[in-house]
Structure 1
Amino acid sequence: MKKADDVELLIDVGSSEEEDDDSLHRAKLKVKTKDDPNKELQEQQIEDEDDDEDDALAIKPIGVEPTSSGSQQVGQEQQDPESNSNIIPENNSQRSANNLEANEGRINGIQNQPTFYIRSRTATVNTAALKDDVYESLDYDVCDNVLFKEEQKRTDNARFNIRKDILRWIIFIQIGVVTALIACVIDIPIEELSAVKYTFLKNSVDNNVAANINPGGNLVIPYLYWMGLSIVPVVLGAALVTYVEPITAGSGMPQVKSYLNGIKIPRIVRIKTLAVKAVGVVTAVVGGLVGGKEGPMAHAGAVVAAGISQGKSTTFVKDFRVFRAFRDDHEKRDFVLGGAAAGVAAAFGSPIGGMLFSLEEAASFWNQNLIWRTLVASIISSFTLNIVLSAYHGLNNFTFTGLFNLGKFEQPLTFEYFELPIFMLFGVTGGLLGAMWNSYNTHINRFRSRFIKFKFARILEAALVAVIGVTLACVMIFFINDCRPLGNDPTDYPVQLFCEDNEYNAVAALWFQTPEATVRSLFHDPPGSHKILTLTVFTLVYYFLACLTFGLNVSLGIFIPTGLVGAAWGRLVAMIIFYIFPEATFLSPGKYALIGAAANLGGVLRMTISLSVILMETTGVETSFFFPLIVTLISAKWVGDYFTEGIYDIQIKMSCVPLLPWELLPKYKGLKASQLMSSPVICIKKCDSAKYIYKVLRRCKHNGFPVVEDVQGNNRENGRVCGIVLRSQLIVILLNSFYEEKKHFWEKEVSIQTFRNVYPRYPSIDSVRLPNEKENYTVNLEIFMNPSPVRVSQCDSASKIFKKFRALGLRHMIVIDRENRVVGIITRKDFLYK
């Protein structure tokens, strides 16, 4: 007998890739061995054995789908054999798995056929489908089985429903409080460490560089100090992200958005993720990288919500035995949405903006009650942060709004009707600059993914970017002479440098403070605080650094640098117009800095309503100024959408996450279910043997199996659909030995709580041991399966199917014929990679 890896099965399709997708191809199967590579067996037919119990697991070519005429149609996908064994991919097809062993029974008279590794030459057509196999879908559809209905009957009373509703409100309030406290834990170290850093650098510059005496001669020492104070924290944060928890890289918003869309992102809501995220944000901001702490707060809030709502910690293996009724994906999703909103509210001091941000950018499913609870979590988070930070800063009243404190405009912001075209032009400019930024950043990140693969290289890259930032800042400070009187001091760390006495260097003032403080300065500095040359060079340098930084292996958000670049060029445009038209008294630099920030944010993030509210709440502008903001943001979004997608959507696509869009992709319109579905389907009988179920779970990685009845012999594919059962349920059944022959032992003990206790880290099939004496036991799935799965006819349109799939948050959709027999199955990946 040959070893399994001595045999290779090739699929040779005798047609060109240019042929119509509906054309039928005949697959030629060639079997080569290492002993005799010239020996080929063409047109080998691998058939099922009807008299063998494993007939549904017989070898079938991956990607070859039977058609109604009996011919074979070659698909575009196959399982990634390199996927982690702990991650169960939800393959786009319900075809046989990649490494299925040959039937243990007889195939063409040959005993113990070797394993066939199946490879298709069309597999390269769909590399994205292979990459996204590491992602599973979440079970947002409630499993309405017998156990669930029994629980509903036991708890079908007003007292239980009121208690459960009160618990929901309590959880959302706790989410708001804890998220705010974590925001304080992040903000206070950043503020204190940044103060120490910039005070030291200011003193170093003042002590080593004397005005008009050997200018630049001793600037090297402060430069080296600055570089060291940047490299050390950046390397520390990058090392934590790279070696401890890579999922914490970036802002976290793409991951949260994917999770709320129904994708299970590995390790996204673990306690270790939260800890590394918090420390990583502190080190990156203190290190001076171009980024902010506001974006990661949404991720932090999501982790807090996921942890509190489950009443247990899988990291510390501790079950507090509370909130058990909320241990499923459907309930957990709602709490995570509230946590993301609370995080944004804490970051900006904007409860309404936080709620709108989560709904506009992150949420895929919501209802009226969820909106109310999310708003309460946002209000509690913002209020708690206000109390703690106001007490920390020694304020007599609660005036500390949020982490991103832009300050209040002293004078009301007004506008004239003739300024509306100017606001629209700002929006168009922001859309163009945002589209360019997204495009450049995408190319840089693709370069990173191709060439910067080693972990140590990623840490060196972060350190290199920190060095580049410090070097460019020093070059600006050295070559641009922009001195201002100390009476107009906009910074806490005024540096004299080459200026006269009682003057400070305005260029150094832009760099010797946190990015939030720089945005605040651009909003509120009096006219004449900067030269046109200063803001021009600063805008270009910061635009470049932001594009270079976003995508590093560090925990940083994109909101602050994007808003800062927009505020800089917005104020710059106002200064240029005022220089040309001195009589234009309506030109307020602060007002146009705010409009520029909105335009740039809209061009990069592509959000409108939530950004308008956030900017209004963080700056305290009147509601009458909402119209200029929304006009600017809509213009920026429309122009930007013409060229590229928003940065979060781009990052999701680069990660090959199968995110369901709001609308069906145009190329799928006009298709039917029979053209979308994957087949043949591995089915399980309502009363099936433990041996068969065990082998199915061992040999394939699918996460859902149609349950059939009225099966003729062992040909399960011809049975009538009576339900669907999940892989996680089958593993729990086998682990607990819920066999029909032993029903009197477990019948009274089993409940829906049995499955919730192991949520969310369901055991793998590797933890199941099936002794020989239990192989012939029967598993009755009647009380475990979902008896009402969503089914569609093979003639239903793709548009109709997509609406159902999107609205119900489905994971699987069974395609049936007129006799209620399974003909195929549809998953979310069939809408993306077919």
Structure 2
Amino acid sequence: MGSILSAAEDEEQEVLIRKELDSYVQPAISSSFPCDNVSEEENNLDSLFLAPSCFVFVPVAIGATLVAYLAPVAAGSGIPVIKCYLNGVKVPEVVRVKTFIVKAVGVVLSVVGGLAVGKEGPMIHCGAVIAAGISQGKSTTFRKDLKIFYRFREDHEKRDFVSAGAAAGVAAAFGAPVGGVLFSLEEGASFWNQTLTWSIFFCSMISAFTLNLVLSAYHNHPGQLSYSGLINFGKFDNISYSFVELPVYVLMGTIGGLFGALFNYLNHKLTVFRLRYLYLKWLQVTEASLVAMMTATVGFTMIYFSWDCQVLGSDPVEYALQFHCEDGKYSALGAIWFQTPEASVKSLFHDPPGSWTLTSLGIFFLFYFLLACWTYGLSVSSGLFIPTLLAGAAWGRIMGICAEWLFNGQDWVCPGKFALIGAASMLGGVVRMTISLTVILIEATGNITFGLPLMIVLMVAKWVGDYFNEGLYDIHVQLSSVPLLAWEPPPLSNNIYASEVMSHPVTTFCTVEKVGRIVETLTSEPHNGFPVVDSDEPASLSTNRTFGRFRGLILRWQLIVLLQHKVFNETAERQWANKKLTLNDFRDAYPRYPPIQRVHISPQEKEFSIDLRPFMNPSTYAVSHTASLPRIFRLFRALGLRHIVVVNDQHEVIGIVTRKDLARYRTWQHRGKMGLEELNIYVG
């Protein structure tokens, strides 16, 4: 553990980034090493700050404008919205080509602008969008249909492709195909089976292999498959641990959980403030630009007033910056600040003891923690993994330095190992991931023997964090008012029945329905599914609690297709003589069917009727009014349902349960206590 293990793939990237930074920084400094004397007039904060501040302002402002005005769903990491989509919630424009372009361009601008962000979450979102597009074989954005993969044009198949795309994004980012599969299982997909596991694993392996080939050619070593992922934390060779270290790791997991809970609490308050006061698009762009300027200001001020100067040549630092240090030395804070965040994490993992002082690391952690908390939730494309890993690695390194003082001479004391534990516990305390994050870090660092301590630390961080609040992704999902269903039904809900949960009254259609009423209903009602019943009395005129004997369910888009093709009883002979309606007619317009306002129906046609029996689902799921909330919940989760019909003992429709009805019941946990609450919405 005495030397940095610099990988060839990172060196060229760091050279380009540092040369770009030097072009802005060096005019304020007399020269780079070897150093000459620098006068006080030249070495001042103003000249050092103005050029880079302008440089970071422009890309962040452009990126924020793209997100705010073109694709708001591209803001943030994208993991919460992909999680909602895979849970069965239809999030508008989440897997559109437009979203992909804004996401990819936006994350580049965010990183170039120097924000405290990463690119891993956006890569996961981009992978999901690519997978969704491949599954359809067409793009409605560019109005191009390749006439392939049409058999996958349904919600179930598309959702499986998106799960594989998210896993492929993790595999490409960290070089962790197994971690990608576990991430998609733990944090993404709500519906899982053995076949899907194999398919996603194969997709992740192909993703990692393809990136390996591209990187080998980029580094002028084509065919040399040793470039695993865009992010390289370096290899921990011969890292080991003993039983005596485990209590220390449990303590660090506790600290990581506390820091993670604090991070989530502050970000929650900040997000609520944004929702209330910064909802205008120009205000969102202004805030993002302000944060970019503040990040540059804090960074340069922190370096300017820091006197942690290290001797050049004693540490493996390339392109070191002198700033106000004397000749032959460089600024330790400047070295870590002007690296890419991934390279900074790698330095904290592998640089030898004595590379930083406690003061420098403490100052860096404090300001970077606050900047990362402020940045997540801006109207920019940004990831969360690397900022939290970097903040955690900083205080983990502090713990390692303290351990060196307390246990001087002990073989198990290694600052880099403590930095790894701190990074894992910090990220686990923020996002509350355990299994997938353990495997991702094992694959990214190349050491499987350290898996057990990582798992212990992540579990402790999750338990401590859950004592105070929820994970950051779950917090943002709740603030977005998305009816996300958890893995398990709410506890203490066994005595809640379908008759209490269901929505009532219900809009239904008769087996043979008048065209005019279908058009009127689709225009006035936003519902996605409609029960089909045996009844001569329209549901809107029914004064009873029941709405006819249940015969099946028909969806909104199915009715629109029937109206588009004018499948009317009065014109049935002519219709079937010309062209028979097939399954491809329903698939062609997937997934964005036209609104009812764009379907032209003449006044005469409104007097016609449609027989819904050949097109409805006669074997759809229904539950008795005595079914419990946990049973309904498990049906929704296991089958990916959006609604389920409630019937009485005579099989008559009495209500319908949607995801929003289930999401009203939520379990709260606070400081070891738990309870069940029902969210009541009043419309005034």
Alpha carbons 1:603, 1:637 under 8 Å: kept: yes
1:202 CA displacement: 4.5
Match of 1:302 among 106, 109, 128: 128
* 1:20-59 map, 5 Å: none
Rate the CA distance shift 1:436–1:292 in 2: closer, same or farther, 3 A.
Answer: same
- Post-superposition Cα deviations, 1:510-562, rounded to whole Å, max 9, x if no partner, equal 11111111001101101111111110111111111111111111100000000
Provide the residue aligned with 2:674 in structure 1. Answer: none
Contact 2:515 2:610 in 1 (8 A): yes
Cα distance in 2 for residues equivalent to 1:256 and 1:750: 34
Show structure 2 runs of 5+ residues with no match: 1-9, 665-679
**1:192 CA drift (Å):** 8.0
Q: How much has 1:222 moved relative to structure 2? A: 2.1
- Structure 1: how far apart are the matches of 2:206 and 2:399? 39
CA distance in 2, matches of 1:498, 1:589: 27
Distance 1:712 1:245 in 2: 45
Any idea what the Cα deviations from partners look like across 1:184-235, whole Å, max 9, x if unmatched? xxx9998787344323134234327964642774342121111111111111
Which residue, 628, 640, 650 being the options, matches 1:809? 640
| Partner deviation per Cα, 1:374-398 (whole Å, 9 max, x = no partner) | 0111111111111111211223622
* Post-superposition CA distance 1:105-143 (Å, at most 9, x none): xxxxxxxxxxxxxxxxxxxxxxxxxxxxxxxxxxxxxxx
2:30 is the alignment partner of 1:204:
no
Q: In the alignment, what sits opposite 1:400?
A: 227
State the alpha-carbon separation in 2 of the partners of residues 673 and 190 from structure 1. 58
Shift of 1:301: 0.4
Read off the aligned partner of 2:232 and give its amino acid letter. Answer: N
Give how far 1:738 is off. 0.4
Answer yes or no: is 1:776 the counterpart of 2:603. no
CA distance in 1, matches of 2:207, 2:12: 19
Q: Distance in 2 between matches of 1:507 and 1:228?
A: 21
Q: Does 1:575 align with 2:404?
A: no
Distance in 1 (alpha carbons) for counterparts of 2:12 and 2:446: 26
- 2:29–2:42: 8 Å Cα contact kept in structure 1? no
Q: Are positions 1:731 and 2:549 aligned together?
A: no
SS in 2 for 1:385: helix
Distance 2:11 2:65 in 1: 22
The residue type equivalent to 1:707 in the other structure is V
Amino acid at match of 1:695: E
Which letter does structure 2 place at the counterpart of 1:746?
Answer: Q
Which letter maps to 2:563? Answer: L
2:182 maps to amino acid: L
What is the CA–CA distance in structure 2 between the aligned matches of 1:713 and 1:252, rounded to whole Å?
44
Question: C-alpha distance in 2, partners of 1:215/1:515?
Answer: 31
Q: 2:573 is matched by which residue type in structure 1? A: H
CA–CA distance in structure 2, aligned partners of residues 783 and 571 of structure 1: 68
Q: Report the alpha carbon displacement of residue 712 of structure 1 after superposing the two structures with TM.
A: 5.8
CA distance in 1: counterparts of 2:317 and 2:59, whole angstroms: 23
Alignment check: 8 A CA contact 1:202 1:493 kept: no
| Partner SS for 2:29 | helix
1:565–1:600 CA contact under 8 A, matched in 2: yes
Q: 1:792 aligns with which of 609, 617, 623?
A: 623
CA distance 1:769–1:358, shift in 2 (3 Å): same
Letter in 2 for 1:405: N
- 8 Å contact kept, 1:205–1:495: no
Q: Deviations over 1:305-329 (max 9, x none)?
A: 0101101110111111111110011
Report the CA distance between 1:763 and its aligned residue: 1.0
Q: Counterpart of 2:375?
A: 549
Q: Could you tell me which of 596, 599, 605 is aligned with 2:425?
A: 599
Question: In the alignment, residue 444 of structure 1 is paired with which amino acid?
Answer: L
Q: Contact (CA 8 Å) 1:493, 1:513: kept in 2 or not? A: no
* 1:247–1:491 distance in 2 versus 1, CA, 3 Å: farther
Contact 1:198 1:493 in 2 (8 A): no
| Fraction of identical pairs, as percent | 49
Structure 1: runs of 5 or more not aligned? 1-186
Return the alpha-carbon distance in structure 1 between the equivalents of residues 547 and 503 of structure 2: 16
Taking the aligned partners of 1:789 and 1:689, their CA distance within structure 2 comes to 23
Letter of the aligned partner of 1:521 in structure 2?
A: S
Taking structure 1 as reference, are residues 713 and 703 closer, same or farther at Cα in structure 2, changes over 3 Å only? Answer: closer
- Cα offsets for 1:237-257 (capped at 9, x unmatched): 111111221111100000000
Bigger mean CA deviation after superposition, 767-776 or 608-617: 767-776
CA distance 1:214–1:532, change in 2 (3 Å): same
Answer whether contact 1:194 1:286 (CA < 8 A) is retained: no
Residues 274-283 or 481-490, more deviating:
481-490
> 1:69-148 alignment to 2 at 5 Å?
none
Question: Distance in 2 between the 1:192 and 1:740 partners?
Answer: 72
1:741 aligns with 2:564: no
CA distance in 2 between partners of 1:532 and 1:787 (Å): 69
1:133-178 residue CA offsets vs partner (Å, 9 max, x unmatched): xxxxxxxxxxxxxxxxxxxxxxxxxxxxxxxxxxxxxxxxxxxxxx
Distance in structure 2 (CA, Å) of the matches to 1:428 and 1:378 = 33
1:707-757 deviation per Cα after TM superposition (whole angstroms, max 9, x unaligned): 012546886754211101111111111111001222223335211111110
Q: Provide the rounded CA distance (Å) in 2 between the counterparts of 1:794 and 1:334.
A: 32
- Aligned-residue offset at 1:449: 1.3
Structure 1 residue 498: Cα displacement: 2.6
Residues 1:285 and 2:111 aligned together: yes
Q: Which amino acid aligns with 1:808?
A: L
Retained in 2: the 8 A contact 1:285–1:292? Answer: yes
State the 1:667 CA deviation.
5.8
Query: Residue 97 of structure 2: which of 271, 275, 278 is its match?
Result: 271
Distance 1:401 1:334 in 2: 25
Is the 8 Å Cα contact of residues 253 and 458 (structure 2) preserved in structure 1? yes
2: CA distance, partners of 1:637 / 1:561: 18
Matched residue type, 2:552: G
Task: Tell me whether 1:559 sits opposite 2:385 in the alignment.
Answer: yes
CA distance in 2, matches of 1:660, 1:789: 21
In 2, Cα distance between the equivalents of 1:295 and 1:710?
51
Distance 2:482 2:566 in 1: 36
Tell whether the 8 Å contact from 2:315 to 2:352 is kept in structure 1 after alignment: no
**Aligned counterparts, 1:381-400, within 5 A:** 381-395=207-221, 397-400=224-227
- Verify: 1:364 aligned to 2:190, yes or no: yes
Give 2:586's match in structure 1, choosing from 738, 745, 755: 755
Structure 2: how far apart are the matches of 1:794 and 1:632?
45
**Higher deviation after alignment, 645-654 or 496-505:** 496-505
The alpha-carbon deviation at position 499 of structure 1 amounts to 2.6
Q: Deviations over 1:542-593 (max 9, x none)?
A: 1111111111111000000000011110011110221233233321011111
Tell me how far apart the structure 2 counterparts of residues 525 and 338 of structure 1 sit (CA, whole Å).
36
Query: Who wins on radius of gyration, i.e. which is larger?
Result: 1
- Compared with structure 1, are the counterparts of its residues 394 and 203 closer, same or farther at alpha carbon in structure 2 (3 Å cutoff)? farther
Count residues with an aligned counterpart. Answer: 646
Shift of 1:825: 0.7
- Is the deviation greater in 707-716 or in 780-789? 707-716
Residue by residue over 1:79-128, the C-alpha shift from the partner in whole angstroms, topping out at 9 and shown as x without a partner, is xxxxxxxxxxxxxxxxxxxxxxxxxxxxxxxxxxxxxxxxxxxxxxxxxx
Candidates 259, 280, 301, aligned match of 1:475: 301
Corresponding residue to 1:238 among 60, 64, 72:
64
**SS state at 2:206 partner:** helix
Match of 1:105? none
What TM-score, normalized to structure 1? Answer: 0.75
Give distance in 1, aligned partners of 2:538 and 2:16. 73
Q: Which whole-Å CA distance do the structure 2 matches of 1:318 and 1:602 have between them?
A: 42
| RMSD of aligned Cα (Å) | 2.0
Instruction: Give a deviation string over 1:48-77, Cα, whole Å, max 9, x none.
Output: xxxxxxxxxxxxxxxxxxxxxxxxxxxxxx
The partner residue of 1:461 within 263, 284, 287 is 287
* Cα distance change of structure 1 residues 614 and 199 upon mapping to structure 2, 3 Å threshold: same
Contact 2:18 2:338 in 1 (8 A): no
Confirm or deny: 8 A CA contact 2:642 2:658 kept in the other structure: yes
- Structure 2 distance, partners of 1:704, 1:687, is 17
